[in-house]
Amino acid sequence: MKNYTSINDIDNIGVWIKEAKMLKADPYIYKGLGTNKTIGLFFFNASLRTRLSTQKAAFNLGMNTMVMNVSGDAWGIEFGDGTIMNGTTAEHIKEAAAVVSQYCDIIAVRAFPTLSDKEKDESEYILKSFIQYATVPVVSMESATEHPLQGLADAITISEHSISKRPKVVLSWAPHVKSLPHAVANSFIQSMQKMDVEFIITHPKGYELNPKITKNTTVSYNQEEAFKDADFVYVKNWSSYSDYGKVLNTDSNWMVTKNKLGNAKFMHCLPVRRNLIVEDAVLDGENSLVIEQANNRTYAAQLVLKKLLENG
Ligand code: CP
């Protein structure tokens, strides 16, 4: 593996989960692997979990970390090829990525979509430009269309909490006041497609995700029906994909309640808006796995960094 930018970079998810659990049980076992190695974390957007868990993962491997809020602190980066740079951008990605590669052994990037220009978002121009012009491995800390560190952490969490051999997992849309990306949902779908689970997606009409991601996964417009006998309910808002980036529905009937959840375990990537996406009783109840998901972000990142360091 040269870079980690997608759940599709995972060759065998069962083996990866087993290895992540081993790292969780003994986090400092590879402490020497990252000695004198540096990871640079470059954020075009806000973060709490990704920023801290990726640093924690690096620390566990003995790496040094450098963190930069690109949008606030760096020179404005130009991504266009051949652009006459007489506007607001001061530095081209060709130099920026090459320069960063002098200081870092691994580069990690977070860059959200515009949610207004589908073609631009799907081109993943920020992540792909880093890959093109950097001379070291690149890790996605959430791109325009995927959040593979989250998807891996979620797969680890489901594996840890599965009682049945083939659990029923539901991905449910829930209402939100803002237009949100598809990345978390996309990576969760991709990780579930690699696991031995019964998987169903439920959302209101108009919220169909990219068919290239959902493929032949069952979709139901009836949340109550979809939740029946579920072992895990993963809740996430996303904006419309077909009517790109639009909020079409804020129906509070789609909010997840304790009553709807029944005995299923509740999952969300966080941050989550209480009593909009999910009611307090669920998040504060014993069936919530959200803190465990956040904890597993460290071991998902640690596994990815370990593999990249070993590739050398
Ligand atoms: N789940 C997640 O990526 O959280 P942050 O946006 O806080 O990093």
187 ligand 1 Cβ < 6 A: no
Q: What is the mean pLDDT of residues 153-168?
A: 97
Q: Across the chain, what does the average pLDDT equal?
A: 98
Helix axes 290-311, 49-60, angle to 10 degrees: 50
Q: What is the mean pLDDT of residues 126-133?
A: 98
Distance in angstroms (rounded) separating the CA atoms of residues 106 and 122: 24
247 ligand 1 Cβ < 6 A: no
Percent of the chain with pLDDT over 70: 100
Where do the DSSP E strands lie in the chain? Answer: 38-43, 64-69, 77-78, 91-92, 106-110, 138-140, 168-173, 198-202, 218-220, 232-236, 265-267
Confidence of residue 312 (pLDDT cuts 50, 70, 90): confident
55 ligand 1 Cβ < 6 A: no
Ligand 1: atom nearest CA of 110 is 8
48 ligand 1 Cβ < 6 A: yes
Q: What is the mean pLDDT of residues 101-118?
A: 98
Closest CA to 304 of 132, 111, 54: 54
CA 261 to chain centre: 24
Q: Which of 269, 272, 293 to mutate to test the pocket of ligand 1 (most atoms within 8 A of CB)?
A: 269
Ligand 1: atom nearest CA of 293 is 1
60 ligand 1 Cβ < 6 A: no
**What would the CATH number be for the domain defined by 7-146+297-310?**
3.40.50.1370
The residue type of 47 is: S
Give the list of residues 6+ apart from residue 46 with CB closer than 8 angstroms, or none. none
Q: At the fourth CATH level, which superfamily is domain 150-293?
A: Aspartate/ornithine carbamoyltransferase (3.40.50.1370)
153 ligand 1 Cβ < 6 A: no
- How many C-beta neighbours within 10 Å does residue 203 have? 24
Distance in angstroms (rounded) separating the CA atoms of residues 40 and 109: 8
270 ligand 1 Cβ < 6 A: yes
Residue 66 has pLDDT above 90, yes or no: yes
Q: What pLDDT shows up at residue 53?
A: 98
In the chain, CATH 3.40.50.1370 sits at: 7-146+297-310, 150-293
pLDDT tens for each residue of 255-306? 999 999 999 999 999 999 999 999 999 999 999 999 999 999 999 999 999 9
Query: In a 3-state reduction of DSSP, which class is residue 229?
Result: coil
The residue type of 15 is: V
Record the pTM. 0.98
The values of phi and psi at residue 234, to 5°, are -100, 120
Q: Which of 47, 146, 154, 236 to mutate to test the pocket of ligand 1 (most atoms within 8 A of CB)?
A: 47
